Amino acid sequence: MAISRFLITILILFTTVALIWFFVFPKYVEFKNLQTEVALKEAEYNAKYAYYAEILNISNELERRKESLNKIDTALPDITSLAPLVYFLQKKTSESGLIVKDLFFTKASAISAKDAVKEVSFSLNINGNYSALKNFLFSLEKSASLFEVINISFGSSPNLIGGANKSMQNHSFLLEIKTHSY
Between CA 149 and CA 159 the distance in angstroms is 24
Domain that holds residue 155: 75-181
- Summarised one tens digit per residue, pLDDT across range 45-90 is 999 999 999 999 999 999 999 888 887 776 666 655 677 778 888 8
Q: Are residues 13 and 42 in the same domain?
A: yes
Q: Is residue 136 classed exposed, middle or buried when 0-12, 13-18 and 19+ CB atoms within 10 A define those classes? A: buried
Q: Are residues 169 and 87 in the same domain?
A: yes
Contact between residue 127 and residue 101 where contact means Cβ atoms under 8 Å apart: yes
1 within domain boundaries: yes
DSSP 158: P
How many structural domains comprise the chain? Answer: 2
Between CA 118 and CA 108 the distance in angstroms is 7
- Summarised one tens digit per residue, pLDDT across range 28-38 is 999 999 999 99
Between CA 115 and CA 113 the distance in angstroms is 6
pLDDT of 77 reads 62
Q: Are residues 3 and 36 in the same domain?
A: yes
Q: pLDDT band at 39, cuts 50/70/90?
A: very high
Between CA 121 and CA 55 the distance in angstroms is 38
Mean pLDDT calculated for residue range 158-181: 70
pLDDT of 49 reads 96
- Summarised one tens digit per residue, pLDDT across range 91-126 is 888 898 888 888 888 776 655 556 666 778 888 899
